[in-house]
Amino acid sequence: MTDLPRLPSIRQEGLSEDQRVVWEQITGGRRAAAHGGRGGLITAEGGLIGPFNAFLHSPRLGGPAAQLGEAVRFDSTLDRRTLELIIVVVAAHWRSDFEFWAHTRYAREAGVEEELISAVASGADVTFASLDDQRIVEAATEILRTGRLGDDTYDSLLTQLGTSGVVDLVTVVGYYSLVAFNLNVFRVPAPVASSELWPT
């Protein structure tokens, strides 16, 4: 089996009209600002980073997926630290190199402790500094493993986050699983070796 990416990189000069709309949507607005401008979303080869190249290959679904991703990232009721912690849990569960590489950086910036990131990556037992973090990690993990939340987990999460927060958590887990599937199936590499991301 080869580790080479499975999808050809679509460059700006080769876009169809539908693809051009998605390209502008992805490389503009809040997402671009978070990546330091449009250039932060474009590879050295002139394509889009991460899952966005896959979105261009199917623009009628990729466009709405990109819009949902922007809403999940920038319009959630969850604070940024909680959001990034959930995404790290999702990326580690699916062993998605690019997603884990990208969002561990954001998680650190948002204040997630290195020890917590490492424990999530390795699947080791975690000594949580706060009950809030424990509830978030356990709830996201339970959804990923079972597709459900038991009553005790749900009730404690509801107390912590409120109804909108629980809905947002479920949506974050689902959306970033979609992203992980695209990255993994189409073999989108992280800019660093996989061995540098996952504890042995």
Q: Which domains are assigned to the chain?
A: 12-74 (no CATH), 80-185 (1.20.1290.10)
How much is the pLDDT for 3? 83
Continuous segment of H or E residues that includes residue 71? helix 59-74
76: Cβ–Cβ under 8 A, 6 or more apart, which residues? 83, 168, 171, 172
pTM: 0.96
pLDDT of 2 above 90: no
- Percent with pLDDT over 90 in the chain: 90
